[in-house]
Chain A
Amino acid sequence: MKQVHFITELFDKYDGRSLQAYLNVGGFASLQKTIEIGSEAVLTEIDASGLQGRGGAAYPTGKKLRQAQAEKAARKFVVCNADEGEPGTFKDRELLKCNIYQVIEGMVIAGICTQSQEGIIYVREEYTNMHDEIRNAIAECYSHNYLGKNILGSPYNFDLKLFSGAGSYVCGEGFAMCESMEGKSGRPRSKPPYVKQEGFLNLPTLVINTETLSTIVSIIKHGADSFRRYGTEESPGTKLISISGKVNRPGVYEIPFGLTIREIINDLAGGIRNGKKGHFVQIGGASGGILPEWLWDTPYTYEDLAKAGLSVGSGAIVVADEDNSLLDYLKVVQDFFSHESCGKCTPCREGNRQLRFIFERITDGTVTVADYDRLEIVLDVMGKASLCGSGKTEVVPFRTAQRYFPELFLTKESLEAKKAVV
């Protein structure tokens, strides 16, 4: 069982555009069920599924929804995070393109479960060519009372609109996203209070990933047990992965947790192109860890990746072969963060500046022992003291590279000395 179709069940069953076609293949059955059985029964099912947030933080979804439900306010928001900005990630693009109605259905259900009546789909600017389709789908749902007042004759109301990002990686972070929706530059706020307490317009806001929403709908439809048939005890269910780089069949695949990285590369993505040897993968986006080829038999689960110093993150897997230099790769990653760092907190802003200097000196061979001492300090401070997840997790690719490719971080002299001994 390599590729499965639990969340992606309807991908090829309808055109992804017409509401009627979605209804014909059983669409909005989960919303009907939610209205019938009520939010407590739905939340119990989501708890039982063990679903973890698919945006990267892997927070238990049931718990997150219950916390959002507990917040009391006259206005509460649900925001669908469709700002997927982690390089190498394009699975939300597929969910929006192939099955936008399931995302909308998930939004209404999340609204009912948390007693929120206003929803926003925050779509990245880079997906502007899909914005009209999404707006059309929203309009269709309004005209057939899947959105609006007294949805399907129930006491529930839910409004939904699309908000376009404007090109900023950090806006994938909850507070930065709220700031940008409030007409400000997307810089994270200090916590607490948290987004769930004082988010958009300082009102309780549930920010939830596109894939998580889609998965909720499938879980309600098929039951938590069907979801748990896939995966492992600690990583139940399925995950959408975006695999790209030097593979024959790059794309989005839905997999049960537990396949090895090598199975994903060889059996799903058709192996490495041109018969080349694998070198490393980066898992989970630009802030994800580097895993060398000799560890590709690691199972793709939260627990096994954690042991190797990595995480599932956004579900991206970028594959590099023997022709790709890890140093060049890390410089691209670093350059990405230099550009995307919002500049608000010193550890991330200045840390990136220092990282850039150090990598320049590694490249031109003038790096010194003092540079490497500084690298340690910079990574330590960034990982511990950055304001948001961006700066905190940025250290992961560098830390894992140090762990698995230590020779990359030696001065010219010590590298020569090491060679002389051998």
Chain B
Amino acid sequence: MKPELEQLAESICAKYDYDAVNLLPILQEIQSHSARNYICEEMARIIAQKLDITESRVYDVITYFSALSSEPRGEIIIQICNSTTCNVNNNRDLIHWFEEELGINVGETTPDNKFTLIFTHCFGACDVSPAVRIDHDVYGMLTREKVKELIAAKRGVVV
């Protein structure tokens, strides 16, 4: 068992009284500490032990919710809305611009593990559609130029 995983799980589970009712916020907080935006199998096992629940329940919850991941992802997650309004507003160009700028297809992570580009369903930014969500921030009304600037800025921030 990796001591740093154990330590993180202990501090967060203690904060939530080791009560499994709080599994969702516990997992969200654990994942927020992961540079790769995921919860590894070993961590899931540690949490299950600490909360005295089965590993399968932890895995069930991680894999059920879109915001949680059992697989490593990029440090920055770019979510392109692929729901009704953004389709009506022709999000194809936007998808293409991001793929071009990052050099990957939707569903992939850049080789430097900096960005993961994925589709997502409506996040309530239909008034600025087609929209993307980069981590927790929403960007709409994008042009080719703005996408370029956005990615450049994010690359700068991360380095």
Tell me the A residues contacting B by CB distance below 8 Å. 84-90, 92-93, 124-129, 163-169, 180-186, 201, 242, 244-246, 250-252, 282, 286, 316, 318-320, 324, 328-329, 332-333, 335-336, 339-340, 342
Q: Does B17 contact A (CB under 8 A)?
A: no
Q: Which of B61, B64, B84 touches A87 (beta carbons < 8 Å)? A: B84
Contacts of B133 in A (CB 8 A): 126
Number of B interface residues at 8 Å Cβ cutoff, please give it.
Answer: 38
Among residues of A, the one whose C-beta sits closest to the C-beta of B122 is: A87
Contact, CB under 8 Å: A250 / B127: yes
Contact, CB under 8 Å: B60 / A87: no
Chain B, 35-57, CB within 8 A of any chain A CB: 57
Among residues of B, the one whose C-beta sits closest to the C-beta of A200 is: B21
Contact, CB under 8 Å: B125 / A90: yes
Complex: A329 Cα to B61 Cα, angstroms: 31
A88-B126, A129-B136, A164-B28 known, 10 other contacts, Cβ within 8 Å: A87-B121, A88-B85, A93-B124, A128-B136, A165-B65, A167-B120, A180-B65, A183-B22, A184-B57, A342-B64
Q: Does B89 contact A (CB under 8 A)?
A: yes
Contact, CB under 8 Å: B85 / A166: no
**B156 smallest CB distance to A (angstroms):** 21
Complex: A288 Cα to B128 Cα, angstroms: 21
Contacts of B85 in A (CB 8 A): 87-88, 244-245, 318
Contact, CB under 8 Å: B88 / A329: yes
Complex: A166 Cα to B60 Cα, angstroms: 13
Contacts of A127 in B (CB 8 A): 123-124
Q: Does B20 contact A (CB under 8 A)?
A: yes
Contact, CB under 8 Å: A250 / B84: no
Q: Does B82 contact A (CB under 8 A)?
A: yes
**B126 smallest CB distance to A (angstroms):** 4
Q: Mark B131-143, 1 if CB is under 8 A from A, else 0.
A: 0010011100000
Q: Does B158 contact A (CB under 8 A)?
A: no
Complex: A172 Cα to B96 Cα, angstroms: 32
**A163 smallest CB distance to B (angstroms):** 8
**B81 smallest CB distance to A (angstroms):** 9
Q: Which of A84, A92, A180, A324 touches B88 (beta carbons < 8 Å)? A: A324
Complex: A128 Cα to B133 Cα, angstroms: 11
Contact, CB under 8 Å: B127 / A251: yes
Contact, CB under 8 Å: B127 / A252: yes
Q: Does B83 contact A (CB under 8 A)?
A: yes
Interface centre among B84, B123, B126 (most CB of A within 10 A): B84
19 contacts between A and B (CB under 8 A): A87-B122, A90-B124, A90-B125, A90-B126, A125-B66, A129-B136, A129-B137, A165-B65, A166-B28, A167-B67, A180-B65, A182-B21, A184-B57, A185-B60, A242-B126, A245-B84, A246-B88, A252-B127, A336-B84
Complex: A316 Cα to B122 Cα, angstroms: 12
Q: Which of B64, B87, B126, B136 touches A329 (beta carbons < 8 Å)? A: B87
Q: Does B68 contact A (CB under 8 A)?
A: yes
Q: Does B25 contact A (CB under 8 A)?
A: yes
Contacts of B25 in A (CB 8 A): 163-164
